Structure 1
Amino acid sequence: MTSSDRPLRADARRNRDAVIDAAGELFAQHGDAVQMDEIAARAGLGVGTLYRHFADKQALIAAIIGRRFAAMTALARSADQAEDPWTAFEQLLYGYLESARTDAAFCLALLGPEKPDWNEIAAEKAEFSAVTEQIVRRAVEAGHLREDFSSDDFILITRGAMATMTGAGDWRRYVQLTLEGIRR
């Protein structure tokens, strides 16, 4: 076991969580222009402590996405329990978007100019993707979705909807129109 594989001490875990929470708040308020020292100050920590947990802004963005993917995976597993494949698909899609709607930092992390380091959250992303692929496959096989629809298309739809969540954007209308185009 390497030092990076060991669980964090309770105080280190609290510090890491405080940094992620502070970054989420600041990204939601000010976008991606937020500096690492501002995040450390909001978390009530020194910059050195922040950098012990996150080498750069991309690593911090990856942690924000990783945290959300863990919650999304639980949501996907719950949706996958629905007997009807279309119900499972809609529960996943709307649940994902409802969760993203209230998490400006997650939306910014996925849609903003700073690209996350996906290597940092490969396990979380793979777990979510596996359940999503299963739900999509069930909906396609049941004849509810176009035959060429894939889990990559699920991501396109969610990102498109997330882009309409600002200002007067009507993400629900966007999703409704999109579903009418992909449903068989």
Structure 2
Amino acid sequence: MTSVPSRPLRADARRNREAILASAAELFGQRGDDAQIEEIAVHAGLGVGTVYRHFTDKQALVAAIVGRRFEAATELALAAEQLADPGEAFDRLLFGYLESVAGDSAFRRALLGPDEPRWEAIAEQKSAFREVVGRIVARAVDASLLRPDFDAEDFVLVTRGAMANMPDDVAWRRHVALQLEGIRIAGPER
């Protein structure tokens, strides 16, 4: 788990933490689990001990990267939820989330890889995102825009399928278009 300070981090400690996370995201994105803590420290211009003061191990570092992405995704989802049109809110959430992760190969590798991040370390971030996704999906279902059996778990399936086709912009967008044809309810104007 990440170390959670009982008081706010000093400015230099915050800078170090940010440098560690940026370096880790880049190296994990390039090489996955083959990236080592020692390499991350060197890449960040810090000592190994500094990395370990912030993160107990590599999995804690991956969890922090994933947690940050979920926090950003929750902000995006909350903004989408404010849209009056349930279909527009769903599309904004779906495409906004996917576009935000298209450039984040560390996040995609963590979600799609054989080992899931330590979800207990980021349970709050993951849960907050899922709650908003659930509300947006429910609104779209209630408005008869999506199949009645579509739920937040299905949203995860669609997005993971799209992520598996990234970073090719055409492939993931085509994947999503095909998926949407299967989950949207056809109407006279659609």
Count residues with an aligned counterpart. 182
Q: Deviations over 1:19-53 (max 9, x none)?
A: 11001111222222111111111111111111111
Counterparts in 2 of 1:1-184, with a 5 A limit?
Answer: 4-166=5-167, 170-184=171-185
Structure 2: segments with no counterpart, 5+ residues = 186-190
Q: Deviations over 1:66-108 (max 9, x none)?
A: 1111111111011111111111001000000000001111111
Report the CA distance between 1:5 and its aligned residue: 3.4
Q: d(CA) in 2 for partners of 1:181 and 1:116? A: 30
- TM-score, normalization: structure 1? 0.94
RMSD: 1.5
- Look up the equivalent residue of 1:134 and give its one-letter code: R
- Look up the equivalent residue of 2:179 and give its one-letter code: T
Q: Deviations over 1:136-164 (max 9, x none)?
A: 01001111111111101111111110000
Report the CA distance between 1:126 and its aligned residue: 1.5
Identity of aligned residues (%): 59
- TM-score, normalization: structure 2? 0.91
The DSSP-based 3-state class of the residue aligned with 1:145 is coil
Q: d(CA) in 2 for partners of 1:179 and 1:22? A: 36
**Residue pair 1:32, 1:114 contacting (<8 A) in 2 also:** no
Range moving further from structure 2, 17-26 or 167-176? 167-176
Change in Cα spacing, 1:145 to 1:64, as seen in structure 2 (3 Å) is same
- Look up the equivalent residue of 2:81 and give its one-letter code: D
Q: d(CA) in 2 for partners of 1:174 and 1:5? A: 44
